[in-house]
């Protein structure tokens, strides 16, 4: 059984937001919902100031607190490590939004479109069918693409090849080989969540 995960090389990330936009286009997330974000920090002082970028997404944790607190079983961890939400079971209590230490869950208050004065576009009308109002939503690791043998949209779109996706349980996979060569860290490991997203420091 694979254990899917991702390595993000912060030396390569140029903060272009292609991953953010690719995720939106692929998953047609509502205007108020972002499954992929790039956090920007300014370091240093003029004339040596610079920006650093930290792309963040659901970590598809080994021990996901969002699953533990879910009272209906809507959030569940698949055998391949992907943490998923069954929207038919989600009652919108929001416990998981509070429990996720990475702030990777969004309560879908309304399926807002990008052009409120003009109603939903045909794409939004179609895409929003999979974003049930009153439920909680988050990154699926593009499970629909993975099941077809394709890579997540954010990985394919990254022009810097900063995002490397694959099976972390396979020592010969691209992310495993990369982690064997380069030091990497995960976020908030002290919480014992077991994130499956690794960062190679800049
Ligand atoms: S990052 Fe948050 S939403 Fe994703 S699996 Fe971990 S606890 Fe759950
Ligand atoms: S697409 Fe790649 S380079 Fe651009 S912001 Fe995302 S991770 Fe960084």
Ligand 2 site, residue 90, Cβ cutoff 6 A: no
Q: Identify the residue whose C-alpha is closest to ligand 1 atom 4.
A: 58
Predicted pLDDT at 61: 98
The atom number, within ligand 2, closest to the CA of 17 reads 5
**What is 83-107 written as a DSSP string?**
EEE-TTT-----HHHHH-TT---EE
For residue 129, how far is its CA from the centre of ligand 1 (angstroms)? 23
Ligand 1 site, residue 58, Cβ cutoff 6 A: yes
Number of alpha helices (DSSP H) and beta strands (DSSP E) in the chain: 7, 9
**What is the chain written as a DSSP string?**
---EEEEEETTT-----HHHHHHHHHHT--TT--SSEEEEEEES-TTS-EEEEEEE-----SS-HHHHH-SSS-EEE-TTS-EEE-TTT-----HHHHH-TT---EE-S----S-GGG---HHHHHHGGGS-TTSEE---TTHHHHTTT---HHHHH-TT--EEEEETT-TTSHHHHHHHHS--B-TTGGG----SEEEE--
Q: Identify the residue whose C-alpha is closest to ligand 2 atom 8.
A: 13
Residue with tokens 């954010």: 154
The set of residues, in sequence order, having a beta carbon less than 8 Å from that of 98 and lying 6+ positions away, is 69
- Give average pLDDT by consecutive 10-residue segment, the chain, 202 residues: 97 98 96 95 94 98 98 98 97 98 94 87 92 95 98 98 98 98 98 98 94
Reading the block at residue 166, the tokens are 């694959």
Backbone angles phi, psi at 127, to 5 degrees: -70, -35
Name the DSSP class of 52: E
Distance CA 64, CA 76 (A): 9
pTM value is: 0.94
To test the pocket of ligand 1, the residue of 36, 55, 58, 77 to mutate (highest count of ligand atoms within 8 Å of its CB) is 58
């Amino acid at each position: 059984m694979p254990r899917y995960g991702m390595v993000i090389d912060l030396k390569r990330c140029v903060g272009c937001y292609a991953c953010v936009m690719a995720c939106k286009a692929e998953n047609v997330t509502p205007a108020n919902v972002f499954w992929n974000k790039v956090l920007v920090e300014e370091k240093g002082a003029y004339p040596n100031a610079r920006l650093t970028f930290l792309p963040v997404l659901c970590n598809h944790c080994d021990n996901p607190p969002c699953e533990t607190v879910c009272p209906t079983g809507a959030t569940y961890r698949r055998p391949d490590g992907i943490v998923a939400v069954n929207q038919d079971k989600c009652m919108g209590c929001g416990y998981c939004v509070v429990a996720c230490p990475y702030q990777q869950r969004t309560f879908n208050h309304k399926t807002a479109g990008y052009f409120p004065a003009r109603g939903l576009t045909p794409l939004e009308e179609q895409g929003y069918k999979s974003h049930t109002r009153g439920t909680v939503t988050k990154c699926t690791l593009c499970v629909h693409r993975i099941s077809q043998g394709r890579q997540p949209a954010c990985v394919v779109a990254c022009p810097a090849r900063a995002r490397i996706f694959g099976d972390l349980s396979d020592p010969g996979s691209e992310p495993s080989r990369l982690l064997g060569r380069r030091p990497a860290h995960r976020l908030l490991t002290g919480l014992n969540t077991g994130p499956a997203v690794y960062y190679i420091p800049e």
